[in-house]
Structure 1
Amino acid sequence: MTQEQFSKYSFLLDRTARTVKQYAQRKFKLGDFDITVDQWLIMKNLSENELLSQAELAQLVFKDQPTLTRIIDILSKKGYVARKPHPQDRRSFQLILTDAGKNKVKELKPQVASIREKAWENLDESDFEEFKRILNTIYNNLS
């Protein structure tokens, strides 16, 4: 592959990722979800994994510690996330969804699924498999 081709494909990947996120952000705002896409990502991961530390959650959602702390602070103020002292490490906390947070995730799951489905329109199963293979190859090349 030439440098020019590589540049084009990198641009397409970046443009697509940015467009997907912008589309989701618009839908979240228009839908009056009371949370952002990044906040949803945190809440969704907490709903799927009980008692995560901030470090574990940061790895799962690919956020640095300061950014994650800001998001957790906002979700805490909204009453969706709580910090509880870590039983083995007094210096850290475990994060949990509150009942309000669990209800918010349950309420938004179908709406978020429909947002995602828009991006996947007109693609069939073989498209998904090829896409997954390519993304995993790129990820593994860089890991």
Structure 2
Amino acid sequence: MQNKYGFLIEVASRQIKQAFQRKLQQSGTGLTVDQWVVLDKLSGGPKSQVQVVEAVYKDPPTVTRILDLLGRKNLVVRQADPNDRRKFSVGLTPLGQAVIAQLKPVVDEYRNQGWQGLTDEDYMHLHRVMTKIVHNFEMESAATLMNLTAISDEKAA
């Protein structure tokens, strides 16, 4: 029974991403879903690359590639941290801000389409269940990390 729901979550996730990619293509911005997600996270103000990685749940090399592409499109700019030259702050350029403003209505329309017919109670149940699933996997990841750290500590001793 649980496998059926896991599969359904995977199908829903793919369909949501594919539909959103079509919307982005229609917008003429040339952005991918992953690029949009990074831009959206930066719309609240500049962030360190580590903060971007954590905000978008992608690995550092993937985020670096996305930021490189967005930089080439003149949508983001990286600035060295004045206190630590190894660190960078990433923010939107004026063009990046304009693209965010252009796409916000498209994104809102897309999200409204996906949530059509759902009641407030449906939202609450979905939020509760999905939050629990995410929490379960975060706990597993934390336990795995703790085990790996313990094994590493044992080998070092």
TM-score (norm 2): 0.84
Match of 1:109 in 2: 104
Aligned residues: 138
Q: Distance in 2 between matches of 1:116 and 1:87?
A: 39
Out of 21, 31, 36, the residue aligned to residue 32 of structure 2 is 36
Q: Distance in 1 between matches of 2:55 and 2:113?
A: 24
2:83 is aligned with 1:88: yes
Q: Distance in 1 between matches of 2:111 and 2:81?
A: 35
Q: Specify the code of the residue in structure 2 equivalent to 1:41.
A: V
Q: Specify the code of the residue in structure 2 equivalent to 1:26.
A: R
Q: Deviations over 1:16-59 (max 9, x none)?
A: 111100110111112323211111111110011x2211111001
Out of 52, 57, 66, the residue aligned to residue 71 of structure 1 is 66
Out of 9, 12, 15, the residue aligned to residue 19 of structure 1 is 15
2:104 is aligned with 1:97: no
Q: Deviations over 1:64-85 (max 9, x none)?
A: 1111111101110111100000
TM-score (norm 1): 0.92
Q: CA RMSD in A?
A: 1.0
Q: Distance in 2 between matches of 1:27 and 1:107?
A: 12
Q: Distance in 2 between matches of 1:31 and 1:83?
A: 26
Identity of aligned residues (%): 37
The runs of at least 4 consecutive aligned structure 1 residues that moved more than 2 Å come to none
Task: Decide which structure has the larger Cα Rg and report it.
Answer: 2
Q: CA deviation at 1:87?
A: 2.1
Q: Which runs of 5+ in 1 are unaligned?
A: none
Q: Specify the code of the residue in structure 2 equivalent to 1:63.
A: K
Q: Specify the code of the residue in structure 2 equivalent to 1:60.
A: A
